[in-house]
Amino acid sequence: MKVVELNNALIEELNRMEAEALVAWAFNNFGARAAIGTSFQLTGSVIIELASRTSKDFRVFTIDTGRLHQETLDMVGKVEQRYGIKIERFTPDAEKVKDMVERFGEYLFFTDKAKQEYCCKVRKVEPNQRALASLDVWITGLRRDQSGYRQDVKKAEVVDQDGRKILKLAPLADWDMNRIDSFIEENDLPINELFGKGYDSIGCVICSTPLVAGEAPRSGRWRWQNSEDNKKECGIHISGNTRISGSVRISGSGNISGNLDISDKAGSSTLTHKPSKCSDDDADLESENEDG
C-alpha cells in the first residue's frame, strides 16, 4: 500500500481501531516502510509489545541526542534482547553540534526558549527527519491526556514531512495512565528505570528532572520554563517543524537582534518561536510518555 492510496474513509476507519489492531494494520500493509519512533517512554514500551504480537521483524528507531541518561541508553539493550530486534539509532550531525556549542555554549537552552528549541532542532528534530525519510508510516506514543496541546491528537492522520506525505499514527491516543500502567504490569514489560525515580517525562539530561509531589505532568521538562506561558516543545510533533519562529536574530558572531535567524556552516535556517497559549503540562511533544 502507498500513502497516496489512503482516502478519508480509510483514515476514519483507522481512527476507530483499537491500538493493537492499528499497529498490526500498519506493519501488515507497509512492512519495513513503517516504524515505531520511541524515546523509551512508557507508551513506547506498550507499542513495541503490541507490534511484537503481529510481527517478529518490525522496525523501531530512537534518537540518541548525545545527552541521554544512562538509564535511557540501557533500554536499547533490554528491548533488543526481549524482542530479538535491532533498534535503529539516529544521532545529531557532529559538525552542527560542535558549531552550536562553540557559538552559544553547551548550556544554551538556559538562555531563552528560542535557543532551547534550536538545541532540540539540532540534537533531535533533524535526526528524526532523517529517520522519517525512509518511512511512510510513523508510529508514535502521543496521548490525548498528556496535555492540553495534545487533547485532540488523532490516532491516524496524513501529515507533511519534508515535502511529502506520511501517515502518522498514535495508537494509544485514547489510553490513560491507568491503562498504560496496568498493561505494563500485566505483561512484565521492561521500562526506563527513571520512572521509578520520580520522572514522568524523559528527554535529555538536565532538561528532564523528577517531579515534585503535586506537580503537573511535564513539569520536570525544561523546569526553568515552568513560569512561562508555553507548551514546552522540542519540535518533533509540530507540523512544519523545520521552522521555529521567534523575535531574536543570532548572527554568526553570536550577536542578537531581530528575528531568530541561525545560520550554520552548511547554510542557514530560520527558527521561529511563537509563544503558545496552550498549557505547559504537555511538555515536549517529544515527550515523554509520548515517544516520538
Catalytic residues: 234
Is the alpha carbon torsion for 137, 141, 143, 149 positive or negative? Answer: negative
The residue whose grid cell reads 516504524 is 35
CA 178 vs. chain centroid, Å, equals: 22
Which residues, listed in sequence order, are joined to residue 167 by a DSSP beta bridge?
A: 137, 158
DSSP 241: T
Provide the residue type at 25 as one letter: W
Burial of 194 (0-12, 13-18, 19+ CB in 10 A): buried
- How far apart, in whole angstroms, are the C-alpha atoms of residue 83 and residue 211? 31
Which residues, listed in sequence order, are joined to residue 63 by a DSSP beta bridge?
A: 90
Please answer whether residues 230 and 280 qualify as being in contact, where contact means their C-beta atoms are separated by less than 8 angstroms. Answer: yes
DSSP H helices, 174-251, are: 177-187
- How far apart, in whole angstroms, are the C-alpha atoms of residue 273 and residue 228? 13
CA-to-CA separations, 256 to 111, 122, 251, 268, in angstroms, rounded: 12, 19, 7, 16
The residue whose grid cell reads 536499547 is 76
The residue whose grid cell reads 562553540 is 102
User: Which grid coordinates belong to 130?
Assistant: 532523517
- Sheet of 34-37: strands edge to edge? 88-90, 59-63, 34-37, 137-139, 164-169, 156-161
